[in-house]
Amino acid sequence: MYRFYVDQDQIGEEFITIKGIDVNHIKNVLRMRTGEKLIICNGQGKDFYCIIDSESKDEIIVSIEEVCNTDTELDGKIYLFQGLPKKDKMELIIQKAVELGVFEIIPVMTQRTVVKLEDKKKEDKKVERWQLIATSAAKQSNRGIIPTVSGTMSFKESLDYAKNMDIKIIPYENADDINETKEIIQSIKSGQSVGIFIGPEGGFEEKEIGQALEAGVLPITLGRRILRTETAGLTILSMIMLQMELG
């Protein structure tokens, strides 16, 4: 069944109004007509099973048959604190992280970050672009929510933001106990919040690692190989996704 996303203000008690580019897609590309069924998602975890009730030039009205929770979401929230990488790597990271079930992506400025977003307008444009990528990836992967890409934070701010999360982890090149890493991953329970800290190219400064450990962030190893920043986060996300799916 075809699936579309709408804003909450388009949803009524019995009917939903579809507007914008989806109208053309439904009418002229998919050639759907009155009486056909589709799924509407509010981007906040609810799916509405609907039937097309009427069509006009600028909008489509669908009647709600059934409402249920989206079954594609993880039972828990994963927050990715990503040290800003160079070039367009952030776009790839966001796209794949959303596909893997991340709840929120927080770009982080660290000591070794090369990219500097000191201009507020430039930063706002970047975040807007990143949010569009997250939205597109969420729709492609049938997510029940649209993950948020926040504004950039300093490393200190990111640690403070994560202070109340259930589990916080940081891949660290000097961590070498793979069994301890396995135990940490397997300790994650359904419904928990997990913060993942990933450094930029060159990793974290030792001082930053120290600050993270003081804040209760657990160091883990991702194996004997050195992974690029765009690979490290997706690797640990895959592990946690599997654990949450099993858990």
Residue 53, amino acid: D
Domain boundary among 69, 96, 116: 69
Tokens representing 154 are 């300093």
CA distance 11 to 95: 27
**27 has pLDDT over 80:** yes
**140 and 61 assigned to the same domain:** no
pLDDT bucket at 174, cuts 50 / 70 / 90: confident
Q: What predicted TM-score, i.e. pTM, was given to this entire model? A: 0.89
Residues 114 and 218 in one domain: yes
How confident is the model over 101-130, as pLDDT tens digits?
999 999 999 988 877 776 778 888 999 999
Number of domains in the chain: 2
pLDDT digits (tens, 9 = 90+) for 143-166: 999 999 999 999 999 999 999 999
Examine the domain organization and report whether 100 and 156 are in the same domain: yes
Residues 61 and 100 in one domain: no
**pLDDT at residue 18, rounded to an integer:** 96
The CATH number that applies at residue 39 is 2.40.240.20
Residue 226's pLDDT band, with cuts at 50, 70 and 90, is confident
Residues 115 and 183 in one domain: yes
Report the pLDDT value the prediction gives residue 46, as an integer from 0 to 100: 93
pLDDT of 1 strictly over 90: no
CA distance 236 to 184: 12
- Beta-carbon contacts of residue 31 (< 8 Å; ≥ 6 apart): none
Residue 20: give the domain boundaries. Answer: 3-69
The reply to whether 13 and 99 lie within a common domain is no
Are residues 138 and 107 located together in one domain of the fold?
A: yes
Are residues 151 and 85 located together in one domain of the fold? yes
> Max Cα separation, the chain?
62
Query: Per-residue pLDDT tens for 52-71?
Result: 999 998 999 999 999 999 88
Same domain membership, residue 214 and residue 146: yes
| pLDDT at site 118 | 66
Same domain? For 15 and 96 the reply is no
Q: Tell me, what's the pLDDT at 47? A: 95
The percent of residues in the chain predicted with pLDDT above 90, rounded, is 80
The stretch 176-198 carries a mean pLDDT of 93
Same domain assignment for residues 209 and 231? yes
- Out of 50, 69, 88, pick the residue that ends a domain: 69
CATH number of the domain residue 207 falls in: 3.40.1280.10
Tokens 């997510």 belong to which residue? 143
199 closest CA partner among 83, 108, 79, 112: 83
The residue out of 49, 69, 89 marking a domain boundary is: 69
Quick one: 45 and 107 in the same domain?
no
The pLDDT score that the predictor gives to residue 247 is 66
pLDDT at 41 over 90: yes
Contact assessment for residue 60 and residue 52, using Cβ atoms and an 8 Å cutoff: yes
d(CA 91, CA 130): 6
